[in-house]
């Protein structure tokens, strides 16, 4: 009799990030400002690839699928469960994007099937994040764009503040903080080289949620950016990595 092989559990972190409960973390003017900041960075990283075919892995939250579709990109969203379709139903039903279900760390697509693979709000919650990076690189013909929180920022003290964060956000959960070198190394192993890296905020996002004042948050972040603090120690980071040229 063949010996049973222990398989890792399926990766379903995107079910939570695609829920209405998770979306409530970005409700109101402050949440809208946070998403606009994220959108502006993502669009700037794609400016040289208009109308590219994009696979948005774990993107049922719609935070990037919606602006991508608005800006003329050909978007396919992959979710690990049919429930991940809920928040982007309007986009799918109107033909502005395609939704498919499948394993987010074993992508059901051939090599280099899309120009770009994007994954937001997933790397930090994915227990098999190295496998996720490997699959994103396999399926992307040109570039991969991900976001991640880094320990090389004020997030370094985040574990000490988790209790307070949970009281403020209520629906927060544990997450992984990354070192830039570790992310860079994992992409390098898969033939991709980071080309651009942009930090979104200097101050922790939980502070902005607690302030509940978009003008104040925006002013504080403008000051931090002008002082160079965001560039040096900002988080979360949005990074683009490009496939190495083949000789």
Instruction: Name, in order, each residue with C-beta under 8 angstroms of 181's C-beta and a sequence gap of 6 or more.
Output: none
pLDDT score of 196:
96
Alpha-carbon distance of 145 to 241, in angstroms, equals 6
pLDDT score of 52:
97
Which residue has 């502005």 as its token pair?
96
Q: CA-CA distances (angstroms) from residue 12 to 7, 80, 84, 212? A: 15, 6, 10, 31
Residue spans of the domains in the chain: they are 13-148+175-200+238-243
Which residue has 């997450």 as its token pair?
175
Q: Which residues pair with 243 in a beta bridge?
A: 192
For 172, left (φ over 0), alpha (ψ -120 to 50), or beta?
A: beta
Length of the chain: 247
Given a cut of 50, the residues of the chain with pLDDT beneath it are 1-5, 162, 165, 168, 171
Euclidean distance between the first and the last CA atom of the chain, given in angstroms as a whole number: 47
Name the CATH architecture for the domain at 13-148+175-200+238-243. Answer: 3-Layer(aba) Sandwich (3.40)
Q: Two tokens at 191?
A: 């033939």
pLDDT score of 4:
43
Give one DSSP letter per residue of 124-183, joined into a string: GG-TTHHHHHHHHHHHEEEEEEEEE-BSSSGGGGGGGGHHHHHHHHSS------B-HHHH
pLDDT score of 245:
82
Q: Two tokens at 229?
A: 């603090």
Instruction: Name, in order, each residue with C-beta under 8 angstroms of 36's C-beta and a sequence gap of 6 or more.
Output: none
pLDDT score of 132:
97
Task: Write out pLDDT tens, residues 113-139.
Answer: 999 999 999 999 998 999 999 999 999
pLDDT score of 151:
86
pLDDT score of 5:
46
Read off the pTM. 0.89
Provide the angle, in degrees to the nearest 10, between the axes of the packed helices 129-139 and 180-189.
Answer: 50
pLDDT score of 228:
95
pLDDT score of 3:
42
Nearest one of 165, 169, 166, 144 to 154, comparing CA atoms: 165
pLDDT score of 152:
84
Burial class (CB in 10 A: 0-12, 13-18, 19+), 100: middle
């Amino acid at each position: 009799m063949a010996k049973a092989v222990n398989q890792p559990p399926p990766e379903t972190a995107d079910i939570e990030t695609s829920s209405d409960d998770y979306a409530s973390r970005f409700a109101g003017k402050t949440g809208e400002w946070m998403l606009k900041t994220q959108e502006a960075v993502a669009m700037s990283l794609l400016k040289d690839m208009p109308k590219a075919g994009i696979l948005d892995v774990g993107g049922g939250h719609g935070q990037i699928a919606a602006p991508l579709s608005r800006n003329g990109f050909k978007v396919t969203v992959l979710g690990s469960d049919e429930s991940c379709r809920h928040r982007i139903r309007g986009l799918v039903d109107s033909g502005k994007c395609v939704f498919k279900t499948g394993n987010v760390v074993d992508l059901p697509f051939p090599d280099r099937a899309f120009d770009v693979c994007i994954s937001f709000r997933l790397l930090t919650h994915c227990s098999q994040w190295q496998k996720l990076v490997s699959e994103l690189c396999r399926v992307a013909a040109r570039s991969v764009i991900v976001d991640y929180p880094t320990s090389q920022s004020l997030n370094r003290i985040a574990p000490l503040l988790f209790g307070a964060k949970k009281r403020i956000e209520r629906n927060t959960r544990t997450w992984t903080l990354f070192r830039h070198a570790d992310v860079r190394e994992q992409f390098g192993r898969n033939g991709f080289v980071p080309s651009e890296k942009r930090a979104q905020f200097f101050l922790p996002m939980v502070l902005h949620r607690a302030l509940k004042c978009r003008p104040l948050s925006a002013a504080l972040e403008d000051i931090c950016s002008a002082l160079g603090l965001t560039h040096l120690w900002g988080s979360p980071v949005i990074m683009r990595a490009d496939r190495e040229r083949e000789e």
